[in-house]
Amino acid sequence: MDAVANTLAISCAIVVVLCAWKVVNMVWLRPKKLEKILKNQGFNGNKYKLLFGDMKEMSMMFQQSKSKHINIDDGDEVLSHVVAFLHHSMQKHGRNHIMWMGWNPRVITMDPLLIKDALTKIYDFQKTKINPLIKFVASGLVTYEGDQWAKHRKLINPAFHVEKLKNMVPAFHLSCSEMLGKWEKSISSNGSCELDVWPHLQALTSDVISRTAFGSSYEEGIRIFELIRKQSILGMEALQSLYIPGSRFLPTKRNRMMKAIDREVNRSIRSIIDNRLKAMKAGEGNYHDLLGIMLESNIKEVEQHQNKTHGMTINEVIEECKLFYFAGQETTASLLVWTMVLLSKHQEWQSRAREEVLNVLGDKDMDVDRLSHLKVVNMIFYEVLRLYPPVVGIARKVDKHITLGGFSLPSGVQIGFPIMLIHYDEQLWGSDAKKFNPDRFSEGISKATKNQVIYFPFGWGPRICIGQNFALLEAKIALAMILQRFSFDYSPSYVHAPTQILTLQPQFGTHLILHKL
């Protein structure tokens, strides 16, 4: 008996020692080893701090920046407001440096060749998984790797073909008309009104996703949008704090809320999909929406290979639908809101864009071919996406030893591509980098960037945003319709405070004066 008890005690002791060793290795020995390897190659950065790395300082700087109002004309102020920690650490440690995401080192690079190389090799440089709670906010295609990613990308691609997008123009148009109808009602007898356009633009892009994804109205999807918006705020909070492995299973308030929201969103989307599948079986309805095209592409693939593993499961389809809301809604609202802000500031560009819209479209119907002639509007969008990219940075990680541009990156290292810092960089863009100048895009993106990867608001390489044409078409229609009906300017109560809540958003709304034309 004693022998059994002894063996048990020794086994337990070994397990405890092994676990303790694993934890010590994870939070101290391994980070210190990686720090040494990276420092020896010239990457400077703050010294690794146990468990938190740079997270505490990052969170503190984020909170401090939130309480400040900034000068729209001062690019450095904008940067130190939006990406406070990164901006500060790049100034302190150089263009290629390291920062600590908890116990994981992240190499931040401003080098276009490294960016190009890493974003092309998608099998070597994979998405970072910082906090598993983020899966409640964005899962599906954006998070998959390898064969699973390739399969989903192939199945979802047809939904975003330009030919399919053409069929969605009436839905874009209808959503915009409804929003502008509300704006018109707010106009007072002097022909003007003050309006916070931010919630209206958010409602517009929600409405558009609802109609184009599900062919249903915003009213039906309203609960889904609200829930997904709440979920992104909780997700952003989770991202700001250190993730302790396994803590997602603890019954904390945030965990419980995120799980409850997720259950409810899944239930709502499943019911939409079930109804759709029934309608498809009965040969009813139109299948020109994202869900219809995705289900059709899925069914075709399964039939072609006579094998269900070639298609997506219903749960996977639900994840992709959630992703459309998340990835497509706030991002496009962000593009539109910063466009209105910058055109309020730069009235000459607002006039040029309106003149073009009236010349090209007049009172004719919107169609994709006519919209493609809006050159000035395009240049304005490119410049807005440069200065106010809805996604301010992306990251990857390496799971095995990789060489990148002569640097040796051991397994466990992450790489950060600070989109916004790169877009503002004077070495890459010239001395007017921080100024609003759509003319730089007058001969297209390749000319403006001299064919370097220094402009990537939609990401770059095989994993480039699948919805970029969708977003730009939607934004074009919305801006054209706004310019046809209104001119706009800042209200005295407008406060410029772009802030990152997963996407780049106006912290205090966007109060503008609208004048009916």
| C-beta neighbour count of 234 within 10 angstroms | 18
Q: Does 467 bind ligand HEM (CB under 6 A)?
A: yes
- Radius of gyration over alpha carbons of the chain, in Å? 25
Among residues 272, 384, 394, 512, the one that binds ligand HEM under rule CB under 6 A: 394
From 225-233, 327-335, 400-408, 433-441, give the range in contact with ligand HEM by CB under 6 A. 327-335
Q: Does 158 bind ligand HEM (CB under 6 A)?
A: no
Neighbouring residues of 372: CB distance < 8 A, sequence distance ≥ 6: none
> Considering the complex, what minimum distance in angstroms separates the CB of residue 457 from ligand HEM?
5
Helix (H, G, I), strand (E, B) or coil at 102: coil
Q: How many residues bind ligand HEM (CB under 6 A)?
A: 22
In sign, the C-alpha dihedral spanning 100, 106, 107, 111 is negative
From 38-46, 267-275, 321-329, 477-485, give the range in contact with ligand HEM by CB under 6 A. 321-329
Q: Does 328 bind ligand HEM (CB under 6 A)?
A: yes
Among residues 463, 476, 494, 505, the one that binds ligand HEM under rule CB under 6 A: 463
**Of 31 and 106, CB closest to ligand HEM:** 106
**Of 200 and 463, CB closest to ligand HEM:** 463
From 99-107, 330-338, 359-367, 400-408, give the range in contact with ligand HEM by CB under 6 A. 330-338
> Considering the complex, what minimum distance in angstroms separates the CB of residue 22 from ligand HEM?
29
In sign, the C-alpha dihedral spanning 184, 186, 189, 194 is negative
| C-beta neighbour count of 463 within 10 angstroms | 21
**Of 407 and 458, CB closest to ligand HEM:** 458
Neighbouring residues of 339: CB distance < 8 A, sequence distance ≥ 6: 380, 381, 384, 475, 479
> Considering the complex, what minimum distance in angstroms separates the CB of residue 200 from ligand HEM?
17
Neighbouring residues of 216: CB distance < 8 A, sequence distance ≥ 6: 210, 272
**Of 53 and 457, CB closest to ligand HEM:** 457
Rounded to 5 degrees, what are φ and ψ at 285?
A: 80, 170
For 51, 89, 413, 499, the CA distances from 46, given in Å and listed in that order, are: 14, 8, 15, 24
Among residues 323, 380, 392, 482, the one that binds ligand HEM under rule CB under 6 A: 323
Q: Does 470 bind ligand HEM (CB under 6 A)?
A: yes
Within 440-459, the residues that bind ligand HEM by CB under 6 A are: 457-459
DSSP 352-396: HHHHHHHHHHTTSPP-HHHHTT-HHHHHHHHHHHHHS-SS--EEE
Among residues 193, 465, 481, 512, the one that binds ligand HEM under rule CB under 6 A: 465
Q: Does 153 bind ligand HEM (CB under 6 A)?
A: yes
**Of 193 and 477, CB closest to ligand HEM:** 477
Rounded to 5 degrees, what are φ and ψ at 240?
A: -75, -15
Q: Could you give the CA distance from residue 336 to residue 348 in angstroms, rounded to a whole number?
A: 18
Q: Does 141 bind ligand HEM (CB under 6 A)?
A: yes
Tokens of 173: 């148009």
| C-beta neighbour count of 135 within 10 angstroms | 16
From 164-172, 277-285, 319-327, 433-441, give the range in contact with ligand HEM by CB under 6 A. 319-327
Among residues 98, 142, 392, 514, the one that binds ligand HEM under rule CB under 6 A: 142
Q: Could you give the CA distance from residue 33 to residue 492 in angstroms, rounded to a whole number?
A: 54
> Considering the complex, what minimum distance in angstroms separates the CB of residue 394 from ligand HEM?
4
Q: Does 391 bind ligand HEM (CB under 6 A)?
A: yes
**Of 327 and 353, CB closest to ligand HEM:** 327
Q: In whole angstroms, what separates CA 361 from the centre of its chain?
A: 31
Within 276-315, the residues that bind ligand HEM by CB under 6 A are: none
| H-helix segments, 25-142 | 30-40, 55-66, 75-82, 84-93, 112-120
**Of 44 and 372, CB closest to ligand HEM:** 372
Q: Does 31 bind ligand HEM (CB under 6 A)?
A: no
**Of 118 and 180, CB closest to ligand HEM:** 118
Neighbouring residues of 26: CB distance < 8 A, sequence distance ≥ 6: 103
**Of 31 and 328, CB closest to ligand HEM:** 328
State which residue has the least CB distance to ligand HEM: 467
| Nearest CA among 198, 467, 439, 442 for reference residue 325 | 467
Per DSSP bridges, beta strands 402-404 and 407-409 are antiparallel
Q: Does 332 bind ligand HEM (CB under 6 A)?
A: yes
> Considering the complex, what minimum distance in angstroms separates the CB of residue 92 from ligand HEM?
26
Interface residue list for ligand HEM (CB under 6 A): 141-142, 153, 323-324, 327-328, 331-332, 335, 390-391, 394, 457-459, 463, 465-467, 470-471
